[in-house]
């Protein structure tokens, strides 16, 4: 629905529903192997998450090219709003996928074995599995999204914190996918740009280090979403129940994840 021009009038409602669902799944799957396993056993989980990541910066239900000239300023505002919404979806999808990969090693194999096209239009024929001819591994799709995002010139924060957050989060995710998985390591390093293995890994180390100080706060914030303040107040009144409702996380453990990934990437680089 987010990609089809005919459904443009439903865009905002669909976006809010999708973001709410992703936040619920992030909270349920955080440090919860049982929920992660349930999600991973659903055949569409990885396919949908990776599709959201790869398409986050190409969603444009209404095009300025087809709009009347007197509506150009409104279209620009709409594009900015959609860029912001796309960034939110991207962060939520990254957060959910990170939870799954972190909690269950099976996620690494599923990501490698899942095939889809990075440009899949998500038509009815591809509802369950992508049928496009240019299907590649979901891991390679993620690397392409990383490269595309790093070189993209979007209207939203083209060279600001948003860009650093996304590429840092992807670097951490690549590290998690490569840990104890030589097959995934090969796919990631083959797909990354760079003249040498060391150069590629050094770039990931740099991006991941930039993200170390942001990861815990970032994951906690996206899990709470717009209801953060209200939920925090509920937490003050209701104790543990309020904290669970607001998506409370073990921030020290979250920070340790990124530090461990940085050490792993440095070890690979220096081999």
Q: Give 134-175 pLDDT, tens digit per residue.
A: 999 999 999 999 988 777 654 445 555 677 888 899 999 999
Phi-psi label, residue 95: left if phi above 0, alpha if psi -120 to 50, beta otherwise? alpha
Give the lowest-confidence range in 18-32, 71-85, 180-194, 251-265: 71-85
Q: List Cα–Cα distances, 113 to 94, 138, 169, in angstroms.
A: 18, 7, 22
Average pLDDT, the chain: 79
Of residues 261 and 63, more confidence is placed in 261
Hey, what are 254's tokens?
A: 């979250």
Q: Are 269 and 202 in contact (CB under 8 A)?
A: yes
Q: Taking residues 90-105, what's their average pLDDT?
A: 94
Question: Residue 267, class by beta-carbon neighbours within 10 Å (0-12 exposed, 13-18 middle, 19+ buried)?
Answer: exposed
Distance of CA 151 to the CA centre of its chain: 17
CA distance 253 to 65: 47
DSSP code of residue 61: S
Q: What is the pLDDT of residue 77?
A: 59
pLDDT at 227 over 50: no
Q: What is the pLDDT of residue 118?
A: 87
Question: Residue 214, class by beta-carbon neighbours within 10 Å (0-12 exposed, 13-18 middle, 19+ buried)?
Answer: middle
Q: What is the pLDDT of residue 243?
A: 40
Of the candidates 67, 94, 111, the one whose C-alpha atom is nearest the C-alpha of residue 215 is 94
CA distance 194 to 174: 16
Instruction: Choose which CATH entry (3.30.465.10, 1.25.10.10, 1.10.287.3510, 2.40.30.60) describes domain 8-59+83-225+257-270.
Output: 1.25.10.10
pLDDT at 64 over 50: no
CA distance 167 to 174: 10
Largest distance between two CA atoms of the chain: 59
Q: Taking residues 165-187, what's their average pLDDT?
A: 95
What 3-state DSSP class applies to 266? helix
Of the candidates 60, 141, 127, 142, the one whose C-alpha atom is nearest the C-alpha of residue 94 is 142
Predicted confidence band at 29 (pLDDT cuts at 50, 70, 90)?
A: very high
Q: CA end-to-end span of the chain, whole Å?
A: 46
């Amino acid at each position: 629905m987010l990609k089809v021009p005919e459904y443009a009038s439903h865009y905002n409602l669909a976006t809010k529903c999708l973001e709410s669902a992703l936040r619920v799944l992030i909270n349920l799957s955080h440090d919860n192997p049982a929920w992660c396993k349930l999600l991973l056993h659903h055949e569409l989980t990885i396919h949908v998450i990776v599709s959201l990541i790869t398409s986050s910066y190409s969603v444009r239900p209404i095009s300025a090219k087809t709009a009347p000239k007197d509506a150009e300023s409104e279209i620009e505002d709409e594009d900015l709003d959609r860029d912001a919404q796309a960034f939110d979806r991207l962060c939520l999808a990254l957060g959910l996928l990170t939870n799954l990969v972190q909690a269950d090693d099976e996620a690494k194999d599923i990501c490698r074995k899942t095939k889809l096209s990075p440009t899949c239009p998500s038509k009815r024929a591809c509802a369950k599995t992508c049928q496009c001819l240019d299907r590649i591994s979901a891991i390679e799709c993620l690397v392409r999204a990383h490269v595309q995002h790093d070189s993209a010139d979007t209207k939203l924060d083209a060279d600001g914190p948003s860009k650093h957050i996304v590429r840092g989060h992807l670097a951490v995710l690549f590290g998690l996918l490569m840990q104890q998985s030589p097959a995934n390591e090969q796919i990631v390093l083959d797909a990354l740009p760079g003249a040498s293995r060391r150069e590629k890994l050094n770039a990931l180390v740099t991006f991941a280090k930039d993200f170390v100080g942001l990861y815990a706060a970032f994951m906690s914030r996206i899990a709470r979403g717009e209801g953060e303040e209200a939920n925090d107040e509920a937490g003050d009144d209701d104790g543990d129940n309020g904290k669970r409702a607001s998506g409370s996380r073990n921030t020290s453990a979250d920070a340790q994840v990124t530090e461990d990934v940085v050490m792993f990437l440095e070890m690979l680089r220096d081999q």
